[in-house]
Structures are given as structure tokens and as C-alpha cells.
């Protein structure tokens, strides 16, 4: 059991408290339209650190959200996606501290490396609400391999890697997923150990009611993803190998 407290990272401007209790977050519940992309089964284990050991944390609310293959977040007015709720959802951890989400590998947008947002809400040892917010990443080799496939390839190569992402550099190496090939895509698991007595980490991470018109073009702390809507699903998707060979045309594996 991985009993290591993970670093908290910023929430960012694209969290929306939708209250969508669901495991499969790929579709917009209003239309049933599924976001295109390579499938990812994401398993998270939430643990509580007690007396230098970890025990599963039951009943924690775990939110996951990320952009689609085109780099667009749902339910953001400035993105033209208001009212849509694709690639967002929450699960409540079971007695083993586990939650599982069915999603797709995320795309990218200007100024950020590829990432997935997570938020865990529970009760601290002081009886007050406790909130842990962070982001999950992939190796640059892994993202380069799958971003070269449809539907991601239409957007071109990302402008930011882990090494040049200002948020990743704040502990992202401790938040990196190691996806494994599965029948229809990939699966990845990650353990989140929480010190529920750490009131600084447990503070509310909300940045307000959500973004307004957006920060506009150019570099800044919250680069705006390009506008648009989820593209249609391509007729077929070729999955990149989880362990691409080290050659002049393929990046090294995760």
C-alpha cells in the first residue's frame, strides 16, 4: 500500500460543482453524446494516514474533471460549452477507499501540459470539512504517443510539456499516472493518502463561482483553452502501445 501524502495543487478555473454521481463520465447526460477519445479506466484509492500508517477512507467524495480531445472543458461559458457536462463526475469511496471512473485520455490546451483534475472532500480530524485538490499527469513520452492518434492529432502537437509546465513543476513527478494497456484502451490506478489533521491542506480550495469571460490570449496563470465543441468520433482509433520502442520515430515508454 502506497502510504505517501501527495502534494496538493491548484484547483484551476474550470471546476464546476455539478453533483454528477456517476462512474462513466464520458457523455453529456442531457444528450447522451459521448466525448471521443481513447478510453481510460481510472482507479483511485483514498487513504487516511493514522499513526504513520494508512487505512482506507470510506465515504469520501471524489470529483474528477478534465478537458476533451480538443482541449475544451464542459459547462464553461467562455468555451461555448455552457450547460454541457461531459468529462465531469464524482464517486463516493467504498469501504476499501476505492472509486473508479471510465473516461478518455485528455487532450491539451495552450500553456498547460496534459492533466486530469481531482478533488477529495471528507471530514478532518477536527470535525470540519476537509478538501484535497490536485492534478494527475502522464509522462511526456506517453502523451506524445497517443496525441499523434485521432481524434487528438487534429489539434497538432502540444505547446507545453511536463518540463515547461509551471504547475507540474510543483510536485507533478509525484502525481504521474502509469497507464497500462487494456482491451479497449488503458487503465491506470493511483493512491491518494491524506493527513486529515493537516488543516492547511484541508482548507476550501474553491476559486469562486467559476470563470467569467476568460483571461484571454497570451501567457498567464490560467491560459484559456481554445474554444470549440467536442469533435465527432472518428470511424476508428489506433491505440498507441503502452511501451513504444525507443527509436527515432517513437518516444520512449512510460
At 113, is the secondary structure helix, strand, or coil? coil
**Residue 215 has what pLDDT?**
32
Alpha carbon 108 to chain centroid, angstroms: 11
- Phi then psi for residue 190, to 5 deg, are -150, 140
C-alpha span between 40 and 206 (Å, rounded)? 27
Distance between first and last Cα of the chain: 21
**Residue 253 has what pLDDT?**
40
Beta strand residue intervals within 166-220, DSSP E: 180-181, 186-194
Q: Specify the number of domains making up the chain.
A: 1
Q: What sign for the dihedral angle of Cα 222, 166, 137, 154?
A: positive
C-alpha span between 213 and 46 (Å, rounded)? 35
H or E stretch at 200: helix 199-202
**Closest alpha carbon to 139 in 156, 162, 160:** 162
Pairing relation of β-strands 53-56 and 61-65?
unpaired
pTM metric for this prediction: 0.81
At 122, is the secondary structure helix, strand, or coil? strand
Domain that holds residue 162: 1-254
Asked if residues 165 and 172 have their Cβ atoms less than 8 Å apart, the reply is yes
Asked if residues 109 and 149 have their Cβ atoms less than 8 Å apart, the reply is no
Q: What's the CA dihedral at 214, 217, 223, 229 to 10 degrees?
A: 70
DSSP state of 215: -
Pairing relation of β-strands 115-123 and 129-137?
antiparallel
- DSSP sequence for 37-71: S-EEEEEEEEEEEETTEEEE-TT-EEEEE---TTS
C-alpha span between 231 and 208 (Å, rounded)? 30
**Closest alpha carbon to 138 in 42, 231, 233, 218:** 42
Q: Alpha carbon of 179 to those of 174, 191, 192: distances in Å?
A: 15, 14, 16
Mind listing the pLDDT tens digit of every residue in the chain (254 residues)? Answer: 577 789 999 999 999 999 999 999 999 999 999 999 999 999 999 999 988 899 999 999 999 999 999 999 999 999 999 999 999 999 999 999 999 999 999 999 999 999 999 999 999 999 999 999 999 999 999 999 999 999 999 999 999 999 999 999 999 999 999 999 998 899 999 999 999 998 887 666 665 433 333 333 333 344 443 333 333 323 333 344 443 332 323 333 44
Which CATH number covers residue 9? Answer: 2.60.130.10
**Residue 200 has what pLDDT?**
83
Amino acid at each position: 500500500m502506497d502510504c505517501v501524502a501527495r502534494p496538493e495543487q491548484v484547483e484551476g478555473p474550470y471546476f464546476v460543482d455539478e453533483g454528477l454521481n456517476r462512474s462513466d463520465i464520458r457523455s453529456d447526460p442531457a444528450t447522451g453524446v459521448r466525448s471521443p477519445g481513447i478510453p481510460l479506466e481510472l482507479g483511485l484509492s483514498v487513504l487516511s494516514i493514522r499513526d504513520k500508517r494508512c487505512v482506507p477512507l470510506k465515504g469520501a467524495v471524489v470529483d474528477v474533471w478534465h478537458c476533451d480531445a480538443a482541449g475544451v472543458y464542459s459547462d464553461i461559458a467562455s468555451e461555448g460549452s455552457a450547460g454541457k457536462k461531459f468529462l465531469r463526475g464524482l464517486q463516493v469511496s467504498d469501504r476499501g477507499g476505492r472509486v473508479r471512473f471510465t473516461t478518455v485520455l485528455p487532450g491539451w490546451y495552450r500553456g498547460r501540459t496534459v492533466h486530469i483534475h481531482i478533488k477529495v472532500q471528507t471530514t478532518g480530524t477536527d470535525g470540519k470539512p476537509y478538501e484535497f485538490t490536485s492534478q494527475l499527469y502522464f509522462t511526456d513520452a506517453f502523451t506524445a504517443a497517443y496525441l499523434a492518434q485521432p481524434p487528438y492529432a487534429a489539434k497538432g502537437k502540444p505547446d507545453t510539456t511536463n518540463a515547461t509546465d509551471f504547475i507540474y513543476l510543483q510536485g507533478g513527478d509525484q502525481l504521474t499516472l502509469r497507464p497500462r494497456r487494456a482491451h479497449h484502451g488503458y487503465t491506470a490506478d493511483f493512491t491518494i493518502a491524506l493527513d486529515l489533521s493537516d488543516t492547511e491542506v484541508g482548507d476550501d480550495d474553491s476559486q469562486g463561482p467559476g470563470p467569467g469571460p476568460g483571461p484571454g490570449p497570451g501567457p498567464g496563470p490560467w491560459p484559456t483553452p481554445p474554444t470549440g465543441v467536442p469533435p465527432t468520433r472518428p470511424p476508428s482509433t489506433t491505440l498507441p502501445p503502452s511501451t513504444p520502442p525507443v527509436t527515432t520515430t517513437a518516444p520512449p515508454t512510460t
